[in-house]
């Protein structure tokens, strides 16, 4: 089995209410969804910050 393709897609996820504390805040988060394909037809997904 060999990896034949890797695709990465950044996804922005906004919060309904901003997360705020004394030194700043977040309006949302960004994650990367990774798709890995093999020559056997297996497809897997992963997530990264």
Which among 31, 35, 33, 32 is positioned nearest to 5, based on CA atoms? 35
> Which residues form the domain of 31?
3-48
Please give the Cα distance from 27 to 20 (Å, whole number).
Answer: 8
What CATH number does the domain containing 21 carry?
Answer: 3.30.390.10
- Assess contact for 42 and 3: CB atoms under 8 A: no
pLDDT of residue 13: 93
Give the model's pLDDT for residue 5.
98
What is the count of structural domains for the chain?
Answer: 1
pLDDT digits (tens, 9 = 90+) for 1-41: 999 999 999 999 999 999 998 989 999 999 999 999 999 99
């Amino acid at each position: 089995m060999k990896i034949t393709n890797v695709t990465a897609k950044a996804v922005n996820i906004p919060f309904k209410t901003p997360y705020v504390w004394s030194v700043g805040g977040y309006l949302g988060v960004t994650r990367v969804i990774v798709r890995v394909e093999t020559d056997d037809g297996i497809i897997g997904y992963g997530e990264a910050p």
